[in-house]
């Protein structure tokens, strides 16, 4: 059930409602909006009635949540949530490196697929910053198809990312592969990434729900929208509210592209959830020449943010070079994105 409070309801009323819901056996999740506060009461609706919940002081309306994903559902919050990355969460140290995702301005999260070395990372971090990127993303823990491929620099890579953040002011996003690594990666990163192969790693989702670092959850390459939103729900229900979704392409019969970039998923997700929806045209196509056009298409169809792989010398990249833009190509694309964003009422 969703309890919608009257505008101007007091903290005391909200607190009282939360206590009452707990007594009834519900788990209350409170969302403070600009105009209104709502509480999602998660639990067995049969223990009470809509009429009873409507008598709680401050409550204006009680609505059922029909979607199976309760906290991710748009029924809970009709407008897109705006999340700070790198800003102070309850457990996160206040930081000067913060950006907002979900608002009018579209952030561009750029960087090499992997952290390859200290010097290499500092160079590319500076370059993407100069080209206008809003955050730096690179993997220190890499999920690789073959165990003989480069697996990432692990904690050493996280240290380089933290140094790059200090040097450039860009918040950092990096992947976490196992539940056991979540505290370590969260110690360094401003945002955790869960990759496509781990979208239904339920232990990892739960572990990411227990920290307050935002999570960028990529869609599994064969996941339905409902499975995807239920995966997000695992993180949300653990108490971590800041979940960002990201379409990165799905597996189809087509071999011309590495993945089929399912662009329609972006507006479809936006119809179903208040969580910000990002697009990753690099993995979405797997083909460098297609990345600029698909980045523009992503913005045109409503993406709240973009993820792009950039490397000073893509041919020499240790991972994903074939889909990675050079710094020059990235800088050119950044200039071309502004009018596209403006055409759909957004800003860069």
The residues in 40-69 that bind ligand PEP, with binding defined as CB under 6 A, are none
Integer-rounded Cα Rg, in Å, for the chain is 21
Q: Which of 28, 58, 112, 139 binds ligand PEP (CB under 6 A)?
A: 139
Which CB atom, from 77 or from 283, has the smaller least distance to ligand PEP? 283
Within the chain, residue ranges assigned H as helices are: 11-23, 50-53, 118-131, 155-168, 182-188, 202-209, 225-237, 265-272, 281-285, 291-300, 327-343
- Is 248 an interacting residue with respect to ligand PEP (CB under 6 A)? yes
- Is 235 an interacting residue with respect to ligand PEP (CB under 6 A)? no
Closest contact distance (angstroms) between CB of 152 and ligand PEP is 10
Q: Which residues contact 239 (CB under 8 A, 6 or more apart)?
A: 209, 210, 212
- Is 113 an interacting residue with respect to Mn ion (CB under 5 A)? yes
Which CB atom, from 55 or from 313, has the smaller least distance to Mn ion? 313
Q: How far is CA 245 from the centre of its chain?
A: 4
Q: Which two tokens stand for residue 253?
A: 């019969």
Q: Which of 112, 171, 195, 286 binds ligand PEP (CB under 6 A)?
A: 195
Say if residues 279 and 266 touch (Cβ distance below 8 Å): yes
Which CB atom, from 2 or from 172, has the smaller least distance to Mn ion? 172
Count of alpha carbons within 13 Å of 288, Cβ hemisphere only?
A: 18
Closest contact distance (angstroms) between CB of 226 and Mn ion is 26
- Is 143 an interacting residue with respect to ligand PEP (CB under 6 A)? yes
Closest contact distance (angstroms) between CB of 139 and ligand PEP is 5
Q: Which of 320, 325, 329, 334 binds Mn ion (CB under 5 A)?
A: 320
Say if residues 229 and 272 touch (Cβ distance below 8 Å): yes
Residues at the site binding Mn ion, with contacts judged by CB under 5 A: 113, 320
């Amino acid at each position: 059930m969703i309890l919608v409070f009257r505008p101007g309801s007091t903290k005391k009323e909200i607190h009282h409602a939360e206590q009452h819901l707990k007594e009834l056996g519900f788990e209350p999740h409170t969302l403070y909006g600009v105009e209104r506060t709502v509480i999602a009461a998660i639990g067995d609706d049969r223990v009470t009635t809509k009429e009873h919940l409507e008598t709680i002081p401050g409550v204006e309306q009680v609505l059922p949540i029909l979607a199976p994903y309760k906290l991710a559902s748009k029924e809970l919050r009709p407008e897109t949530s705006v999340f700070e990355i790198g800003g102070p969460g309850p457990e996160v140290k206040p930081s000067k490196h913060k950006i907002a995702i979900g608002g009018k301005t579209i952030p561009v999260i750029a960087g090499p697929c992997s952290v390859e070395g200290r010097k290499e990372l500092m160079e590319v971090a500076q370059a993407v910053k100069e080209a206008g990127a809003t955050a730096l993303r690179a993997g220190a823990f890499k999920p690789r198809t073959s165990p003989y491929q480069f697996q990432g620099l692990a904690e050493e890579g996280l240290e380089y990312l933290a140094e790059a953040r200090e040097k450039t002011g860009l918040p950092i996003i990096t992947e976490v592969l196992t539940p056991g690594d979540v505290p370590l990666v969260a110690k360094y990163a401003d945002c955790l990434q869960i990759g496509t192969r781990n979208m239904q790693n339920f232990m990892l989702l739960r572990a990411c729900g227990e920290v307050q670092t935002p999570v960028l959850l990529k869609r599994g390459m064969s996941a339905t929208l409902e499975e995807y939103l239920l995966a997000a729900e695992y993180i949300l229900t653990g108490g971590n509210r800041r979940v960002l979704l990201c379409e990165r392409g799905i597996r189809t019969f087509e071999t011309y592209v590495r993945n089929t970039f399912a662009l329609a998923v972006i507006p479809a997700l936006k119809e179903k959830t208040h969580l910000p929806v990002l697009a990753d045209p690099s993995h979405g196509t797997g083909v460098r020449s297609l990345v600029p056009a698909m980045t523009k298409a992503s913005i045109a169809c409503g993406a709240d943010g973009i993820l792009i792989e950039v490397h000073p010398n893509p041919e020499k990249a240790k991972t994903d070079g074939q889909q990675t833009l050079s710094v020059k190509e990235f800088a050119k694309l950044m200039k071309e994105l502004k009018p596209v964003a403006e055409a759909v009422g957004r800003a860069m």
